[in-house]
Structure 1
Amino acid sequence: MLKPEIDSLVPHVPFNRRTFIKAALGSGFAAAVLPVSAQTIHTDSEGLEAGEIAVHSGDTLVPAYRAQPQGKTQLPVIIVIHEAFGVHEHIADVCRRFAKLGYLAIAPDLFVRQGDPMSLPTVQQISQQILSKVKDEEALADLDATVAWAGEHGGDLNRLGVNGFCWGGRIAWLYAEHNPQLKTAVAWYGHLVGEHTAAAPANPIDRVGDLHAPVLGLYGLQDKSIPQASIERMKQAIAHGPQVARGSQFVVYGDAGHAFFADYRPSYKRADAEDGWRRALVWFKQHGVA
């Protein structure tokens, strides 16, 4: 049985701009977030199969970081959906954290068509050059392909969940509205409302009627980018949505802002991050993803 714990996590050596070199997927950090905090967590890969793999999504070869217990099959599956900085070291580490608890965890690079955010020096440039161009339909198709890959490589798709951060938190909501096979999702500070564009024609609040699984939303009260009013609107929409959707829950941390789980950034709130992590693990277990 999976036990919600993070005892295996140890501090990671901080990175800085001078030592930054783009390496394999899941290595290093984006230039926009350097220097990395000394409290950054590192989880080793002992006992795991971990590293980069490739997923065929239509005509596109999507790189992904995968971690799973060595030599084991029929594993519960967690799709980890990255934030604005792509599949960098933090996202790979989250995959290893899940794998240490018995999951097959895999994080596909959903920016593969738009470019590499790792080398861009500011979040604004990442937003303009990468995020604004990612098509929701392609991201969801890539997730479908990733799920299929997991099912062919040791995963039990009857125990399927997604876990997304920031940009990926929004996509986690959308995926729960897209894939009826999904058991549940955890969305960390993912936007619920927003502008409608050609690339993003609908937001999570627009498709609540399509929710196939309950979602745990983890948010910060001090997050200026996600007003509490938008969370309240989402709660109301869910209350009038499908029965399965009504099992969704929100946790709002009073002292936390955006990216409070991101241990490599100044926004990190350790107590809230650890509480959210434990809640996420319990949530997955309660909904059959364990």
Structure 2
Amino acid sequence: MRKEETIELKQAPASFSPAVTPVSATTVYTDSEGLHAGETTIPSQGEDLPAYLARPASFSGKLPIVLVVQEIFGVHEHIRDICRRLAKEGYLAIAPELYFRQGDPTQYSDIGELLDKLVSKVPDQQVLADLDHSAHWASLHGGDASKLAITGFCWGGRIAWLYAAHSPQLKAGVAWYGKLVGNKTLTNPTHPIDEAIDLTAPVLGLYGGQDSGIPLDTVESMRQAIRAANADAEIVVYPQAGHAFNADYRPSYDAEAAADGWQRMLAWFAKNGVK
């Protein structure tokens, strides 16, 4: 085993988005023992992109890379914990702050206001470019560019689908309850259902059957688009789960669906050559 060059990382307090506090008693906390974890910055489009990094402290060769894409709440403690969980599995996990040019999600305590005043202002093309730069940076800091994966949650689940149609380097994607259809705008000109024909990497979609924000008819429409495109993608629906069923810090958490989805994600990565 070897220790990779040290990256200066800042440590942040374990804070959750004010839009979803108080946190649930089911909240999972993953320690950083044996990991190199903390906040860093990535050169991207002429600016310093804030990001959270977690990877094993010692390893041989290069590590498979997983881009972790935030929920609407930004890279708060739940997303950082996801990165640490992946690092414990042997991945270099990087979660860039994809809203940072438009604003700070921690300044919003109301979800509707957060969506209207910040999230809706973030262009997809900006996000995809920042993810490209994050993947490249990771490849220069212990990551293996030939073993690149992405996973995203809620807002990030939609982005995971889009990135799988954008990046020719991507080996696999896992989208957790990301919207599949929607109104087309200047910031969101296409949606996953429009990109099914252009998927260049296998994608696993994980959805809740009780998700009122992502109706099952839209999930079925995406399945049909995948079949029509002969795309390498699969969608799993957990009939009793709602939206954000992996968000252990929220009342929506479904432990059984979350655990099954996590194992399916790891298996999907392994099956498609990420690890």
Q: What TM-score comes out, normalization by structure 2 length?
A: 0.94
Q: Which amino acid aligns with 1:32?
A: A
The 10-residue stretch of structure 1 (101-110 or 201-210) with the greater mean CA deviation from structure 2: 201-210
What is the rounded CA distance, in whole Å, between the counterparts of 1:271 and 1:26 in structure 2? 29
Shift of 1:119: 2.5
Alignment counterpart, residue 263 of structure 1, candidates 248, 255, 269: 248
- Using the alignment, how far apart are the partners of 1:263 and 1:128 within structure 2? 25
Cα displacement (A) at 1:25: 5.4
> Secondary structure of 2:58's partner?
coil
Tell me which residue corresponds to 1:43. 30
Q: Note closer, same or farther for the CA distance 1:219–1:135 as it changes in structure 2 (3 Å cut).
A: same
Q: Match for residue 281 of structure 1?
A: 266
Distance 1:139 1:95 in 2: 19
Number of aligned pairs? Answer: 265
Q: Secondary structure at 1:42's aligned position in 2?
A: coil
AA aligned to 1:110 is L
CA distance in 2, matches of 1:152, 1:264: 33
Aligned pairs for 1:129-168 within 5 A = 129-168=117-156
Query: Aligned partner of 2:54: which letter?
Result: A
Residues 1-290 of structure 1: pairs in structure 2 closer than 5 A? 27-72=14-59, 73-241=61-229, 243=230, 245=231, 247-290=232-275
Moved segments of 4+, more than 4 Å: 23-26
Amino acid at match of 1:289: V
* Partner deviation per Cα, 1:42-80 (whole Å, 9 max, x = no partner): 000011110011111111211000000113241011100
In the aligned structure 2, how far is the partner of 1:228 from the partner of 1:157? Answer: 35
RMSD: 1.2
Show structure 1 runs of 5+ residues with no match. 1-22
Corresponding residue number in structure 1 for 2:6: none
Cα 1:180/1:214, change in 2 over 3 Å: same
Q: What TM-score do you get using the length of structure 1 for normalisation? A: 0.89
AA matched with 1:254: P
Alpha-carbon separation, structure 2, partners of 1:125 and 1:38: 26
CA–CA distance in structure 2, aligned partners of residues 240 and 197 of structure 1: 25
CA contact (8 A) 1:25 1:87 kept: no
Identity between Structure 1 and Structure 2 (%)? 55
Tell me the amino acid that sits aligned with residue 287 of structure 1.
N
